[in-house]
Amino acid sequence: MTGPSEIAVGGGPLAPADVVAAARGGARVVLTAEARSALARGRARVRALAERDTPAYGISTGFGALATRHIAPDLRARLQRSLIRSHAAGSGPEVEREVVRALMLLRLRTLATGHTGVEPATADALAGLLNAGITPVVREYGSLGCSGDLAPLAHVALALMGEGEVRDAGGALLPAADALRAAGLDPVAPAAKEGLALINGTDGMLGMLVLACHDLDLLLRTADITAAMSVEALLGTDRVFAADLQELRPHPGQAAAAANMRALLAGSGIVASHRGADCTRVQDAYSLRCAPQVAGAARDTLAHARTVAERELAAAVDNPVVLADGRVESNGNFHGAPLAHVLDFLAICAADVASIAERRTDRMLDTARSHGLPAFLADDPGVDSGHMIAQYTQAAIVSELKRLAVPASVDSIPSSAMQEDHVSMGWAAARKLRRSLDGLTRVLAVELLTAARALDLRAPLAPAPATAAVRDALRARVPGPGPDRHLAPEIDAATALVADGTAVAAAASVAPLV
């Protein structure tokens, strides 16, 4: 049995929530008895192959373009150490702790299948790093997303050997040997195939995909909230979100987004104020009317990305692999294309959802289109600039998101003397997606901040209970309309409200969201 803060590794796929819990929450990991049996079986097969005269890739040969060289038995331990040292060639800024912990957990899960042929003690050592809160220093650049995330994983393997740099549980930078000693952990001496097994996986890409799916789910529900607030602020109609209209185009994501919009706008005094027969505004702008179509398309893409992630969480990615019948076979499962494609897809979604949010914000600031709101929502337009420059910030971010939406996976630069002549660039796709989601968070925060101010300026008309709850949650951190104030801290406060889920929780406390 595992405790509530422990994750059982082995015997089946990990749940995405387990990855998030280990990466962000510091949950401990425990290898199951089934994993230990699988590890023992796989290692026995590798030992048998290592004793044969017949060359076996990764066991008694070199790697990549050097795979034709047979390695003598007395050099094989050196072969594995050399592989790790030479492949720990990353450069640039440190990768975030949560990403490194995710890739460590995912590598451990693959080791636990027994298909990699490592010693059980090696899997225990990786689990020990995770449980001690020791995070190897992994650098931004170095992975081509083929043969897996070689350089990032090699930096982790280097730390297991007691070499390189790590961060301890408190975040202090120190030599790996010192951190292992302080945690009571012994360094690993990789035996036949183990160096290759520790680095030949798509775990970095997959870890970032799982985290991105978790974050984007929250952001898309937030986008429904900010869109609903903008509809109210701009005296828009809720009729276009009716279920029977949405059913004419039966995309599930669109239906979910429209359902959220209906729930969020239910009981809105602002919407009711112009619903009568004398209303001449029969059709809103696309950025209001088409909100469910855009956010819904992003939801459907997210659903596909989750399917890919769940398949990968059940995979054993290594080369070569130990099969159930005892064969050890070379393969191409380390190619990151399935991950790279959906990582790129999600960056496109982030850019599009941010783009439509920025257009709604701009409408609230323009007297020609805001239906009676003061210019830039300023207290004294001309003396005050209101939210004029907040929209500039949005526009700058959206422009950056469009650049980040250019796919990484369409690129390939051959490596290893043309042995590895087509690569996925999936690591790069994942890195830019993380920046995209940060940008989307900030764009939605500015829309939230602006729409809340506009709702206040519509008084005495009352917003819907759900959107009012979100506005009130913001007001606990940011004051209402008034003369110009230092705006950057208010944008940061709204960004935190979006990122920590407070905005969604406030709306969901009143209206059910899907």
Catalytic residues: 57
**Buried/exposed 406-433: b ≥16 CB within 10 Å, e otherwise:** ebbbeeeeebbeeebeebbbbbbbbbbb
Return the ∠ at Cα 343 (arms to 246 and 126), rounded to 5°.
130
| Residue 387 structure tokens | 């939210």
127 contacts 31 by C-beta, under 8 angstroms? yes
Burial of 244: CB neighbours in 10 Å, binned 0-12, 13-18, 19+: exposed
Interaxial angle between packed helices 487-499 and 388-404, expressed in degrees from 0 to 180 and rounded to the nearest 10: 50
Q: Using H for helix, E for strand and C for coil, what is the string for 459-501?
A: CCCCCCHHHHHHHHHHHCCCCCCCCCCCHHHHHHHHHHHHHCC
Q: Using the structure block, give the residue that is written with the tokens 């690569």.
A: 423
What residues pair up with 159 in beta bridges, in sequence order? none
Instruction: Fill in the DSSP letter of residue 51.
Output: T
| Amino acid symbol at 13 | P
| Residue 433 structure tokens | 């997606």
For the chain, what's the residue count? Answer: 514
C-alpha to C-alpha distances, 312 to 8, 199, 207, nearest whole angstrom? 17, 16, 10
SS3 368: coil
Distance between CA 291 and CA 298 in Å, rounded?
Answer: 11
234 contacts 363 by C-beta, under 8 angstroms? yes
165-167/173-175 β-pairing: antiparallel
Taking the CA atoms of residue 354, residue 358, residue 359 and residue 363 in that order, the dihedral angle to the nearest 10 degrees is 150
